[in-house]
Amino acid sequence: MAEPSSRADTASFPEGRSPAARSSEGRSPEGRSPAARGLARPAGPARRVLVVDDEPMVREVATAYLEREGFVVSEAADGAAALDQVAANPPDLVVLDVMLPEIDGFSVLTRIRRTSDVPVVLLTARAEEPDRLLGLELGADDYVVKPFSPRELAARVRTVLRRSLGPARSGGCLRFGGEGDPGLEIDGVSREVRVDGCPVELTPKEFDLLAFLARSPRQVFSRAQLLEQVWESSPDWQDPSTVTVHVRRIRQKIETDPESPRWIHTVWGVGYRFEP
């Protein structure tokens, strides 16, 4: 069978089936389980992924590969439907296209972040840095640029879920400051952060980055090292500005003066360090 033409995929479909053949199976909006497709289910409950894109072919390709990886996948063709599904049946992760009709992906992401810290991976045809940074500023955990490899998308989804749903790398509560200095607590078990006893809401990735830096006080890490250690990625896969954006967001949440940070310091030309 000739490989289907799509700006999202150049690989053959799983089991040699076309999107049309897979569509005829009548997948429900709630998504089909891996067991229903004869796939081995990973240990523990299957993770639920919502794929949001207005192009049926893109949804089919993304769904095919994610289901092959053992995820339970549901689909939405526009922003309104995506918001309804997130509210009614919250997924473990959202794959969200930026260029949606009526309500664009950035607006959907903004609305999701008002009530949820569910991980979001953006699909974007906008490769320019300002567009990527905007998505990260709004709270996206990662992004994939179109046209994309579905294998890469599946790998990104696995990595984001592993970091956001998995346990902290080490338990216990880290405490810093006090005696006239703002107190900072990072609880690796409950994944909670408190400043002067007041809880601070961080996204899963923000927590992972802060906890990683705090566990190695005064050690300088480059952005490439942080991508490798926290995102399990590399500059070849992901823009290092991802780290810069997350550091800025953390500072805005935990620092008394983000422009003159107490905790996370920039080492110019090198990277970042945590000052206990």
**Contact residues for 55 (Cβ-Cβ < 8 A; gap 6+):** 8, 97
Partnered with residue 48 across adjacent β-strands are 72
- Distance (Å, whole) CA 56 – CA 183: 50
pLDDT in tens, 153-167: 998 898 888 776 544
DSSP state of 44: S
Q: What's the pLDDT band for 68 if we cut at 50, 70, 90?
A: very high
pLDDT, residue 222, reads 94
pLDDT in tens, 29-43: 444 444 343 333 444
Q: What would the two tokens of residue 15 be?
A: 């089991």
pLDDT, residue 5, reads 39
Task: Name all domains of the chain by residue range, CATH numbers in brackets.
Answer: 14-164 (3.40.50.2300), 173-274 (1.10.10.10)
Q: Is 199 helix (H, G, I), strand (E, B) or coil?
A: strand
Is the distance from CB of 212 to CB of 226 less than 8 angstroms?
Answer: yes
Q: What's the pLDDT band for 124 if we cut at 50, 70, 90?
A: confident
Mean residue pLDDT of the chain comes to 80
pLDDT, residue 25, reads 39
Instruction: Identify the CA nearest to 49 among candidates 141, 169, 127.
Output: 141
Q: What's the pLDDT band for 214 if we cut at 50, 70, 90?
A: very high
What is the pLDDT averaged over residues 98-109?
94
Q: Which residue has the higher pLDDT, 224 or 177?
A: 224
- Distance (Å, whole) CA 201 – CA 207: 9
- Distance (Å, whole) CA 249 – CA 265: 13
**Contact residues for 194 (Cβ-Cβ < 8 A; gap 6+):** 183, 184, 185, 187, 200
**Contact residues for 154 (Cβ-Cβ < 8 A; gap 6+):** 65, 66, 68, 69
**Lowest-pLDDT choice from 34-38, 179-183, 216-220, 264-268:** 34-38
pLDDT of 247 > 70? The answer is: yes
pLDDT, residue 180, reads 58
**Phi-psi category of residue 263: left, alpha or beta, with phi > 0 → left and psi -120 to 50 → alpha:** alpha
What is the pLDDT averaged over residues 109-116?
89
**Lowest-pLDDT choice from 170-174, 182-186, 204-208, 229-233:** 170-174
Tell me the torsion sign for CA atoms 71, 38, 55, 240.
positive
Instruction: Identify the CA nearest to 83 among candidates 110, 56, 64, 123.
Output: 110
